[in-house]
Amino acid sequence: MKIYTSIDKIKQLKAFDQLDHPVALTAPMIVDDQVIIGMYCESIGSACIHIDIHKFIDLKHFLYDPKRFRLLVHGIKRIWENHEIGNLDTYTHVIADTEIMAYLLDSGRDKTEYSLSHLAHQYLKQPYPHRAVQICDKGFPEWMYEILAEDAYLIAELAAVLLEKMDADLNPDNSASKQRNVCS
């Protein structure tokens, strides 16, 4: 797994300059003046960003208020509130939030049922990994890299499923014709 520690290298990644291949990012985890973010995209695979909190201040708008790439995320509202990001100029049309999508598909749930672990189990049929043993076996920050990279991958997979489900719900005729074409 690749770990990115330079703002310049992060900003130069081709993944952040393409609208056709979205980038999944986890919420930033702050540990002792360090910020670690899980990342997944097809062109890079699983990766993490690990930078000093002072550098994150320069990077947070680039990552969570995207202009040149599609962002997949879980809980953008909390991220924006906690890190003072997002405003009227935000390109919200390039952001897909799995928490919001799940809410739009089924708004009658308890708030806890919109967690990444619950949604991964429900829509991906994958149990969310419990990592107590792995955390004990590996040192910091390696265990954090693995957890966040896996979460970013789950966000990407979940976003694909939820977007397809939303499209099917909004366009039932297209969904039925796609199913017929696949079966033909």
Mean pLDDT of 46-56: 96
Query: Considering the domain boundaries, does residue 138 fall inside one?
Result: yes
Query: Considering the domain boundaries, does residue 176 fall inside one?
Result: no
Distance between CA atoms of residues 148 and 81, nearest Å: 20
The tokens for 181 are 């074409």
Query: Considering the domain boundaries, does residue 182 fall inside one?
Result: no
Query: Considering the domain boundaries, does residue 109 fall inside one?
Result: yes
The tokens for 4 are 């990115």
Upper half-sphere CA count for residue 86 (Cβ side, 13 Å): 14
Q: Map residue 131 onto helix, strand or coil.
A: coil
Domain that holds residue 34: 2-169
Give the model confidence (pLDDT) of 155-175 as tens digits.
Answer: 999 999 999 999 888 777 764
Residue 66: name the closest of 39, 36, 105, 31 by CA.
Answer: 39
Number of residues that this document lists for the chain: 184
Query: Considering the domain boundaries, does residue 179 fall inside one?
Result: no
Distance between CA atoms of residues 49 and 153, nearest Å: 14
pTM of the entire structure?
Answer: 0.87
Distance between CA atoms of residues 13 and 111, nearest Å: 35
Domain tally, the chain? 1
Share of the chain above pLDDT 90, in %: 66
